[in-house]
Amino acid sequence: MSRTYLVIAEHRDGKLRQVALEALQAALLSSSEGDSFTAAILGGEGTAALAEELAGYPVSQIHLLEADGLNAYNPEAYAAALLPLLDAVRPDAVFLGHTAIGRDLAPTLAARLQAGQLSDVVAIERTGDEVSFTRPLYAGKAFEKRSFASFPWVVTVRPNNLPAAAPAENGRRADIVRTDVAAPASLRTVVKEVVRKTSGKVDLSEAKIIVSGGRGVKSADGFKPLEELASLLNGAVGASRGACDAGYCDYGMQIGQTGKVVTPEVYIACGISGAIQHLAGMSGSRVIIAINKDPEAPIFKVADYGIVGDLFEVVPLLTQEFRKALA
């Protein structure tokens, strides 16, 4: 029996998010021969170009849901657009990124489908007809494997843990079904404007390289060397809660148990002592580099490489050497 898999493709600033392609890869890994794949993209004017881009990937159909009220994420507006699509497509499984939007939207979709839900999946294995999903527990100290007893499913995928789906072979392109979505009669909330306080061109949750600062940066100006290094490496700048609480940066940059959970290829911790709450948000990084004046700082226990020194001396030297290497 063939199954239908639906991927909700997120986008930001006119570009498909990397996690959208990772969610598609998750659907591909969970499927068997003969299954079909469809995707949904929600947005306002200009979203059609994203649908054209996604059409080059291994999906058979893309549902383009357009409305002025979908320019920015609004739970009520997104639900009003997606629920009729769920009723029409009746997917056996829905995959989303484990992002702020995915975490908020997935329970609504699961309730409508009367589906089981698994969140924050970091690995998928298929053995015969059995599909197991791995997700972290206790801030990454343990992992569990779960599988669904029956269809339908709703699954959210943690960014930067699964590879992105590759473009379709032989130049195949998906059909795009365009649907103009009528605004709901009444909305309890309306998004008038989105104000971004975080700096940097790279999304923190999807960044391959993160340069993060703690209380050791001493001030808002102390982040400037970190921003220069991150910009050079095409990375993002993060922060510990201590730095955020001290007013050195916005809470949107916070990494840790009460902030964002990140899994970059390289995590450079500058002036961060390594409190357990911060480690919960970054201990899954592939390579951790710690820079701290205190040789006894807990961050060195989890770091792959440690530099004992003043970050205001070390970071500019690193920037200088990276600039030479990249030249």
Task: Please enumerate, by residue number, every residue annotated as part of a binding site for FAD.
Answer: 215, 240-241, 254-258, 271-278, 292
Place of tokens 């484990």: 98
Whether residue 16 contacts residue 165, with contact meaning beta carbons closer than 8 Å, is answered with no
Residue 27, SS3 per DSSP: helix
Closest CA to 158 of 140, 171, 141, 176: 140
Closest CA to 79 of 168, 188, 155, 159: 188
Pairing of strands 11-12, 142-146: unpaired
Inter-CA distances, 226 with 220, 311, 315, Å: 11, 9, 7
Token pair listed for 155: 């699954």
Rounded CA-CA distance 255/244 in Å is: 10
CB within 8 Å of 108: residues ≥ 6 apart:
75, 79, 82, 83
| Annotation: binding site | 215, 240-241, 254-258, 271-278, 292
DSSP letter (8 states) at residue 254: B
Rounded CA-CA distance 3/25 in Å is: 16
CA-angle at 153, arms to 151 and 159, nearest 5°: 155
